[in-house]
C-alpha cells in the first residue's frame, strides 16, 4: 500500500524522462527486451482440497523428486536441484522445492503452497521476440500440465 505511491512516482519520472527523449515507456521496454532478451514467466497451480488433497500433493512432490523428468516437452533438463537436501547442497535453507534448469535459458520450479491446498509450478523462458517467448512459454506450460 505505501510502496505503491513510491513506485508510481518512479514510473511517472521514468515516463517523463523517456518522453523528453522521444520514447514511450513501451518503446523503452522493447529496447530492453532487444538488448537482454524477451523473458516471460508464468505459474500453473493445481488445487487439491482436504486430507486426500494434501496426500496427493505430497505424492506428486515425491514422484517428481524420485523420478525427475529428463525433459519438459522439447526442453531437456540441464540440472535438477532438490532444495530439501539441505544447505550443504545448495547453500540455501532446506525447503520443499524442486528446481529444473532447462536448456535455452528456460526453467521450472515446483513447490507445495505453505498456506493453501495447492501445488505450484513456476516457469520461465527466454525468446527472441515477444511472439517467440509467448510460444515457448505456452509449450512449457503444456509440458508442465502433462507432467503434473
pLDDT per residue as tens, the chain (148 positions): 578 899 999 999 999 999 999 999 999 999 999 999 999 999 999 999 988 989 999 999 999 999 999 999 999 999 999 999 877 777 788 899 999 999 999 999 999 998 889 999 999 999 999 999 999 999 999 999 998 8
pLDDT for residue 42? 97
Q: Is 21 helix (H, G, I), strand (E, B) or coil?
A: coil
pLDDT for residue 1? 57
pTM above 0.95, yes or no: no
Counting beta carbons within 10 angstroms of the beta carbon of residue 65, is it exposed (0 to 12), middle (13 to 18) or buried (19 or more)?
A: middle
Name the nearest CA neighbour of 65 among 94, 46, 85: 85
What DSSP designation does 127 have? E
Question: Which ranges in the chain belong to alpha helices (H)?
Answer: 2-20, 25-36, 50-66, 87-90, 130-147
Expressed in angstroms, the distance from the first to the final Cα of the chain is: 36
pLDDT for residue 11? 96
- Where in the chain are all domains bearing CATH 3.30.310.50? 38-147
Architecture of the 38-147 domain: 2-Layer Sandwich (3.30)
Name the nearest CA neighbour of 14 among 122, 6, 141, 43: 6
Amino acid at each position: 500500500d505505501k510502496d505503491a505511491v513510491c513506485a508510481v512516482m518512479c514510473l511517472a519520472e521514468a515516463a517523463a524522462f523517456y518522453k523528453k527523449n522521444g520514447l514511450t515507456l513501451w518503446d523503452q521496454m522493447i529496447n530492453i527486451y532487444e538488448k537482454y532478451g524477451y523473458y516471460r514467466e508464468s505459474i500453473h497451480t493445481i488445487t487439491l482440497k482436504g486430507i486426500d488433497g494434501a496426500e496427493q500433493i505430497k505424492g506428486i512432490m515425491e514422484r517428481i523428486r524420485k523420478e525427475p523428468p529428463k525433459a519438459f516437452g522439447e526442453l531437456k533438463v540441464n540440472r535438477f536441484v532438490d532444495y530439501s537436501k539441505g544447505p550443504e547442497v545448495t547453500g540455501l535453507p532446506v525447503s520443499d522445492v524442486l528446481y529444473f534448469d532447462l536448456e535455452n535459458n528456460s526453467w521450472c520450479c515446483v513447490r507445495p503452497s505453505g498456506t493453501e491446498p495447492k501445488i505450484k509450478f513456476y516457469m520461465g523462458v527466454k525468446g527472441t521476440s515477444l511472439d517467440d517467448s509467448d510460444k515457448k512459454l505456452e509449450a512449457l506450460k503444456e509440458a508442465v500440465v502433462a507432467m503434473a
